[in-house]
């Protein structure tokens, strides 16, 4: 079947959200850990994290200011730091629960039963139960006028990870630490490696 622009526009809001969110393919599953300057913590699942570059090591995130992610975005603006914690099969239901609209002064860490932990150089709480955590520093915020979302570009300043999951060429086996993938708004998936492919030559 072929859906034209008018067909998409005519879809009911929630139906269209489910539909369009499925079309980009599988998404990453990460928990964003933040705190404000008074130490009030916040934890929010995002499927919008994406790789921007390796040197400097940069990741991007799309934040919608009108939903739960708002508290995370405010904290990132206030402290310039946050953590990114890969969601594994062990914690994905708790991770999903952080998407509920808790009041600002309630910590999702407490509500969903995950433990905030800290490294010496950052105010940002990371998730003790995550197998892979990144400490990030805000580098740029780009408002996207086209739909009112905000893109955050941040630099990786620290990586917490068991070195047994790093291959000799630097590849990290995120399947071995049971990282999940997301499709649409709410579907969680485990993975099975098909292959690593060699560097392609004509």
Binding to a second copy, residues 62-101 (CB under 8 A): 62, 64, 84, 86-87, 89, 92-93, 96-101
| Binding status of residue 117 toward a second copy by CB under 8 A | no
Say if residues 33 and 124 touch (Cβ distance below 8 Å): yes
What is the Cα–Cα distance from 124 to 34, expressed in whole angstroms? 5
* Residue 129 to residue 89: CA distance in whole angstroms: 11
Q: Candidates 32-40, 72-80, 144-152 — which segment interacts with a second copy by CB under 8 A?
A: 144-152
Element (H, E) at 199: none
Shortest Å distance, C-beta 37 to a second copy: 23
| Candidate segments 35-43, 71-79, 159-167, binder of a second copy by CB under 8 A | 159-167
129 binds a second copy (CB under 8 A): no
Would you count residue 8 as binding a second copy (CB under 8 A)?
Answer: yes
Measure the CA–CA gap between 165 and 140, rounded to whole angstroms. Answer: 31
- Half-sphere exposure in the Cβ direction for 105 (13 Å, CA): 0
Judged by CB under 8 A, the residue of 79, 111, 118, 128 near a second copy is: 111
Least distance from C-beta 191 to a second copy, angstroms? 4
From 67, 110, 113, 186, residue interacting with a second copy (rule: CB under 8 A): 186
If one asks whether residue 47 binds a second copy (CB under 8 A), the answer comes out as yes
Q: Does 26 bind a second copy (CB under 8 A)?
A: yes
Contacts of residue 36, defined as CB under 8 A and 6 or more positions apart, other chains included, come to: 42, 74, 75, 78, 79
Residue 110 contacts a second copy per CB under 8 A: no
Helix (H) or strand (E) holding 55: none
Instruction: Report, in Å, the least distance between residue 196 CB and a second copy.
Output: 5
Q: 37 is written with which tokens?
A: 């300057």
């Amino acid at each position: 079947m072929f859906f034209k622009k008018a067909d998409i526009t005519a879809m009911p809001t929630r139906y269209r959200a489910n539909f369009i969110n499925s079309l980009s393919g599988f998404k990453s599953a990460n928990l964003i850990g933040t705190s404000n300057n008074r130490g009030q913590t916040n934890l929010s699942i995002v499927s919008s994290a994406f790789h921007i570059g390796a040197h400097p090591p940069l990741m991007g995130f799309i934040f919608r200011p009108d939903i739960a992610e708002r508290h995370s975005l405010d904290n990132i603006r206030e402290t310039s730091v946050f953590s990114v914690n890969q969601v594994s099969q062990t914690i994905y239901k708790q991770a999903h629960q952080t998407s509920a609209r808790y009041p600002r002064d309630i910590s999702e860490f407490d509500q969903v039963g995950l433990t905030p932990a800290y490294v010496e150089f950052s105010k940002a709480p990371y998730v003790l139960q995550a197998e892979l955590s990144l400490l990030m520093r805000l580098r740029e915020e780009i408002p996207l006028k086209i739909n009112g979302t905000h893109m955050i570009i941040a630099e990786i300043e620290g990586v917490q990870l068991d070195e047994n999951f790093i291959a000799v060429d630097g590849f990290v086996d995120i399947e071995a630490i049971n990282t999940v993938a997301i499709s649409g708004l709410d579907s969680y998936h485990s993975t099975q490696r098909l292959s690593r492919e060699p560097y392609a030559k004509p």
